[in-house]
Amino acid sequence: MKINLMKNYRYLLVISIALIIIGITLNSLFDTNEDFFNDPIYKFIINMPWYVVVFFVVIFAPITEEIAFRSWACKKQYWKWISFCSSTSFVAFTNIYIGIAYGLAFLSIILLLKNKPKFQLFSFLILTSLTFASLHYGNLQPKSFLLAFPQYLGIGLFLSFITLRFNLLTSILVHALNNGFALLVLGLFSPAEKPIKFENTSYKATLTNLSYKFKFDLYSSGTFHGDFIELKNYKLSSIIESLMDNDSVYYITQDEVISFRKYDFYAKQRDTTQLINQKELILDLCKLKNIKVDTIKEKREVYLLSVMDWGKIIYNEEEFDTINPLMTTTIFGLCNTLTNLELFSSPKQYIIPEKSMQNKVIAYDYDLISYGKTFEQKRKSLDSAYSITLRKKDTIVTIIRIRDK
């Protein structure tokens, strides 16, 4: 039975547009304490090269999401099974139990309502549009997402309408245009604050936020000189962490700052009689941006890093010039690098130096521990190449928390 959607179901278009307007209105009126730079989706965007962002947002997401959540609306019966398999996989990837429940619901609609096209249509609209909207939860902060939920739901219904009225390819193109327009608006009109200038007894400083359009393929860099400090493309919490002096004591930094906005930071001596007081600078920066820094002790399972043969890894300028690929860092820096490389492991692996280990400057081959290798491979490589051992232990560690007040 062919359904003339334009004639009999025009209200679907009206409902979808109304929901989109409601979602935008709710965000505009009530999401006053948040901005886009606090949302997880912004963190994804700013940490990826522009061409990767464009591929995922404008090409990959529209194609995969439309096949998963709108292909059931195509005329051929087999598209319902394609939609069933792909959308169930989408949901199961997020949560296996919800995926099973979703799959059973979808299967029930196919089998039990095959002779009731109107009820089947309504059931697919409700199930897939609600699920499509819910799967965007990770894009925003919880409050922002609740306010924007009608908008996501409306977009799902609107794209279903497009597929029913025209075809799947048209809904993919509309989805791609929507995402591309969102990126364009972000790039052209992302809000930029005026540079903040502040000073104290030992320094003068400037903090400048970066709007998204200036940040494609922009890498972070830091320079600490006797009379100035320059940090480019840093999160606020990372600026504060970089200003902390941990040459003699190792600690784990726990970043709990919500915003993912990036900044350029520059500080110089106020005069030549004293160096920049970094503790004073941290206190002023925290006060300026409403950040709190405190220290706690906590028992955690960590890996203790030990160096059995310093001769293999201690930095030697002549050796560094002749052997590639070598990187210079410190023992504490190596611990931080290893910990950060395990960001996506579950549970996260924390690597700390053995107690009382000196923070010596070392040189090592970064390829031995780069991305793409398992943690065990990294352990074995460091042990065989440099006699660096990583031993698991439950111990009390010092944690410095950087968080919003």
The answer on 204 and 283 residing in a single domain is: yes
Three-state secondary structure call for residue 165: helix
The answer on 127 and 202 residing in a single domain is: no
Domain that holds residue 175: 5-188
In angstroms, the CA 237 to CA 223 distance is: 17
The answer on 136 and 77 residing in a single domain is: yes
The answer on 144 and 78 residing in a single domain is: yes
In angstroms, the CA 377 to CA 384 distance is: 11
The answer on 177 and 50 residing in a single domain is: yes
The answer on 369 and 247 residing in a single domain is: no
- Residues sharing a CB contact under 8 Å with residue 289, sequence separation 6 or more, in sequence order: 236
Instruction: Please tell me the predicted confidence (pLDDT) of residue 2.
Output: 47
Give the CA count within 13 Å in the CB-facing half-sphere of 349: 21
Instruction: Please tell me the predicted confidence (pLDDT) of residue 226.
Output: 76
Instruction: Please tell me the predicted confidence (pLDDT) of residue 211.
Output: 67
Note if the bond before 347 is cis, omega within 30 degrees.
yes
The whole-model pTM stands at 0.70
**Burial of 16 (C-beta count, 10 Å sphere; 0-12/13-18/19+):** buried
As given in the structure block, the two tokens for residue 131 are 């699920």
Instruction: Please tell me the predicted confidence (pLDDT) of residue 321.
Output: 55
How many structural domains comprise the chain?
3
The answer on 201 and 165 residing in a single domain is: no
Instruction: Please tell me the predicted confidence (pLDDT) of residue 6.
Output: 46
- Backbone torsions φ then ψ of 257, nearest 5 degrees: -75, 130
In angstroms, the CA 349 to CA 329 distance is: 20
Instruction: Please tell me the predicted confidence (pLDDT) of residue 1.
Output: 42
Q: Domain ends where: 289, 320, 343?
A: 289
Helix residue spans in 139-277 (DSSP H): 142-165, 168-189, 236-243
The answer on 302 and 282 residing in a single domain is: no
The answer on 87 and 144 residing in a single domain is: yes
Instruction: Please tell me the predicted confidence (pLDDT) of residue 364.
Output: 87
Successive 10-residue mean pLDDT values, the chain, 405 residues: 53 92 89 69 74 89 96 93 95 93 95 91 95 90 88 95 93 95 73 83 90 60 87 91 82 86 91 87 94 92 92 73 68 88 73 88 86 85 92 91 92
The answer on 123 and 253 residing in a single domain is: no
The answer on 253 and 331 residing in a single domain is: no
- Backbone torsions φ then ψ of 39, nearest 5 degrees: -90, 145
The answer on 63 and 21 residing in a single domain is: yes
| Residue 223, H or E segment | strand 221-224
